[in-house]
Amino acid sequence: MRYFVKRVVHAAVTLVSVTTITFALFRLMPGNPAQAMRAQFEADMEAGGGTADPEVLDAMVEQHIGFNPDQPWYIQYVEYLRDIILYQDFGQSYFYNEAVFDILFTAMPWSIFISVYGLALGYTTNILLGAAMAYKEGSRFDNYATVLATFLNSVPYYVGAILFLAFFGYELGLFPTGGRYNTDLQTGLNVRFMASISYHAVLPVMSSFIVGFGGGALSMRGNSIRILGEDYLRVARLRGISSTRIATRYVARNAILPLYTQMMIGIATVFSSSVLLEFIFTYPGVGWYTYDAVMRRDYPLLMGSFLFFTIVTLIGILIAEFTYGLVDPRIGSGDHSESY
């Protein structure tokens, strides 16, 4: 129990620090976005022939970045934290003129949909391929698969995504080149709509699959080979335990353990990669909005998605920590050792 409390406290500390850093980056740096923006507006207005009324300027800047620049920084900071924690108010997107929270909240399921499928697919393939490589250690299959895994591991996912798009989307025309679903269809729980969603998701999922693929297969291979040399495996064979049970209950079970944490932390990689992936596939998820926010200097939205990625990563790591005890009994409540 103490362990859980400790972990949650760690996560909370991390979250607050990230929020603080975000805040500091936007507010306290000399020549920060707020000042830059103010200067920009002033120049714009003067160029337009009007006079820059400081109050109007302040109001405009506040609308853009969500703060009142006249208040001392610590009050801004407290208000900023208060809004986020108490009201889930991340501010107002100035471009969409909508609450940042609402924008991200509607976009989130789409990103999760793409990422989770990509991740699940990637890791399943990794585990199966890695185990197969370990069983056939030193064979021709093992050698080729190692080369393939190393190759895929070193191809950046966005290169893969662009190649997918160019080849399957434009060259062959097999898959749509953008969007989340066919907008002509009636939305809701009908078969054609669902099919359209899956159809549109194929390329992004495939690209996101590449993110999680490769390295995992190689470490699964290494883990399995190590387990195959363990004493308990030899004893189990002598006891006459069937080879399927040995493969699943003994080798796979123990070899997956170190991969588990890696996978949970991998969630963060997949989400952060979604920024480029969703942009490439014009797939309006959180990543797409983030990219959009950068391009349009929509600071509230940008800060919102930054926090969103942090929270997702923290939740992923927390889930990994809390469920690790279930997966590996040796960790137990984590009170004694954390050797994994």
Partner 1 sequence: MTRTETELEITRDDSSSHDVILEVRDVDVTFDMERGTSRVLDGVRFDVHRDEMLGIVGESGSGKSMFASALLNAVVDPGQTSGEIIYHPPDGEPVDVLSLSEFQLERFRWEEISMVFQGAMSSFNPTMKIGEHFEETIRAHGEDIEERMEHGWQLLADLYLDPGRVFDSYPHELSGGMKQRTLIALSLILEPKVLVMDEPTAALDLLMQRSIMSLLGNLQEEYDLTIVFITHDLPLVAGLADRLAVMYAFEFVEYGPSEQVIRDATHPYTRALLKSVPSVDASLEDMHPIEGESPDPVNAPSGCSYHPRCPLATVECVQADPDYHEVSEERGAACFHWEQSGDEIEYALGVDPDEFPESTAAFESEEETVVSLDDVDVHFEQAGLIDELFGKESVVRAVNDVSIELRENEVVALVGESGCGKTTLGKTVIGLQEPTDGSVSYRDQDIWEAKAGGGDYEFDDIRRALQIVHQDPGSSLNSSRTVRASLSAPLKRWRPDLGPSDRETVIYNLLKRVGMKPPEDYAARFPHQLSGGEKQRVVLVRALLMSPDLILADEAVSALDVSLRVEMMDLMLDLQELFDTSYLFISHDFSNARYLTEKSDGRIGIMYLGNLVEIGPAQEIISDPKHPYTKVLRWATPPLDPDEAKEANATDPPIREIDIPDPTDPPSGCPFQTRCPDAREVCTREVPELQCTEGAARVACFREDDDHEYWASEPIESDTVSLETESEAD
Does 192 contact partner 1 by CB under 8 A?
no
Shortest Cβ 150–partner 1 spacing (Å): 27
Question: Within 252-281, which residues bind partner 1 (CB under 8 A)?
Answer: 253-254, 257
Q: What mask of x and - would describe binding to partner 1 in positions 20 to 59, judged by CB under 8 A?
A: ----------------------------------------
Does 13 contact partner 1 by CB under 8 A?
no
Does 188 contact partner 1 by CB under 8 A?
no
Q: Which of 204, 200, 212 is nearest to 119 (CA)?
A: 212
Q: Closest CB to partner 1 among 141 and 260?
A: 260
* Stretch near partner 1 under the rule CB under 8 A, chosen from 54-62, 86-94, 206-214, 241-249: 241-249
* Stretch near partner 1 under the rule CB under 8 A, chosen from 101-109, 122-130, 133-141, 228-236: 228-236
Shortest Cβ 230–partner 1 spacing (Å): 6
Q: Which of 278, 277, 305, 279 is nearest to 290 (CA)?
A: 305
Does 5 contact partner 1 by CB under 8 A?
yes
Out of 9, 13, 21, 195, which residue is the one contacting partner 1 (CB under 8 A)? 9
Out of 16, 245, 295, 338, which residue is the one contacting partner 1 (CB under 8 A)? 245
Shortest Cβ 251–partner 1 spacing (Å): 10
Binding site for partner 1 (CB under 8 A): 2, 5-6, 9, 230-232, 234-236, 238-242, 245, 249-250, 253-254, 257, 327-330
